[in-house]
Structure 1
Amino acid sequence: MRPTDVQVRAGEEADLGALTKIYNHYVRETAITFDTEPFTPEQRLPWLRSHPEDGPHRLLVARDERSDEILGYATSSAFRPKPAYATSVEVSVYLSPAARGRGIGTLLYEELFGVLAGEDVHRAYAGVAQPNEASGRLHARFGFRPVGVYREVGWKFGRYWDVAWFEKEL
């Protein structure tokens, strides 16, 4: 079901506070990200600016048109910094806890892959800390296939976490 009251648009600096709040929830409460300390909006500004409105590295936000609340975001970022990786991107979706289960992650990915279709991008990759069945289902819905698992690659909350890697041809 496609949410009809949600607008997806390019992220902008005015969104930084809301985007940081969403991300910090995952930093503090989950192993979905391996950052361990919350960020200030000022610390996240370089990240936001690394996602311009055009090109392969995008930041799209989902906004509730009724409340004007930012519900989540999707990004395509550099996969690795070396030049030969330039046609590969790493993608991710982060939703506010209240927005989960409403189809917003799907909507964000639909828009993200739509804009990436016009870019010189060959592959998209997603690293998913395990366990995370919802993220696995989302990526499978978009044609990602599993390509491997980094075992016990991250240490957070007093334990090791695996990361499953998924790949999609663009």
Structure 2
Amino acid sequence: MTTDDVKVRDATTDDAEACAAIYAPYVEKTTITFEIDPPTPEAMAVRIDSALRTHAWLVLEEQGRVVGYAYGGPFKARAAYRWSCEVSVYLELGRRRSGGGRALYEALLTRLAERGFRTAAAGMTLPNDASVGFHRAMGFEPVGTYRRIGWKHGAWRDVAWVQKDLTTIATGDDPPAEPR
């Protein structure tokens, strides 16, 4: 991947159609996501807008075409979790090990840390050696596995959880500033 052809930028709702097209095969053909029906471009636009207001949504462009995206969102709705977020990354199928996922996650995690988030978490349906290895390479640490937590494509599925500390310096026990 050369930086001349590829760039990471903030998403806009105009990217919804491309993001929906990237995501649909994961929904329909894999167990990587637990969604059953692919979201429409209109539904994806709502997701993008929501993430941009509170967390971040980035896209990877190659020669002006969106070929991947990554986003952060709330980890849980309860207030004490507000400094934690859940992250995901999706590339066009067949683009693994191209450097795009790393570029997206590095930019996303930096953006989330700048907004005041302290911890990023990600869930991965098992088995998924590629995602497990990717998250390990990105500095995520395993924290547990939910067994038989979802049913998709005719079988019960496990989900492994990993997390990454987004702080770069010791912050002590003082309460953190509100995410912005």
Q: Which amino acid letter does the alignment assign opposite residue 48 of structure 1?
A: I
User: In structure 1, how many angstroms separate the alpha carbons of the residues matched to 2:38 and 2:111?
Assistant: 30
Provide Cα deviations, 1:2-47, integer angstroms capped at 9, x if missing partner. 5322110001111110000111110001000000012211122221
**TM-score normalized by the length of structure 1:** 0.92
Provide Cα deviations, 1:119-139, integer angstroms capped at 9, x if missing partner. 211111000001111111111
**TM-score normalized by the length of structure 2:** 0.87
Larger Rg over CA atoms: 2
* Structure 2: runs of 5 or more not aligned: 167-180
Shift of 1:100: 2.1
User: In structure 1, how many angstroms separate the alpha carbons of the residues matched to 2:112 and 2:153?
Assistant: 35
Count of residue correspondences: 165
Among 136, 145, 149, the alignment partner of 1:153 is 149
Shift of 1:73: 0.5
Among 136, 139, 142, the alignment partner of 1:143 is 139
Provide Cα deviations, 1:39-68, integer angstroms capped at 9, x if missing partner. 211122221111226x5x100000002xx2
Among 113, 126, 133, the alignment partner of 1:130 is 126
Q: Do the aligned residues in 2 keep the contact of 1:78 with 1:86 (CA within 8 Å)?
A: yes
**Residue of structure 1 equivalent to 2:38:** 38
**Residue of structure 2 equivalent to 1:97:** 93
**Structure 1 moving runs of 4+ over 3 Å:** none
User: In structure 2, how many angstroms separate the alpha carbons of the residues matched to 1:42 and 1:149?
Assistant: 33
Q: Which amino acid letter does the alignment assign opposite residue 82 of structure 2?
A: A
Q: Do the aligned residues in 2 keep the contact of 1:3 with 1:102 (CA within 8 Å)?
A: no
User: In structure 2, how many angstroms separate the alpha carbons of the residues matched to 1:137 and 1:40?
Assistant: 30
Q: Does 1:167 align with 2:163?
A: yes
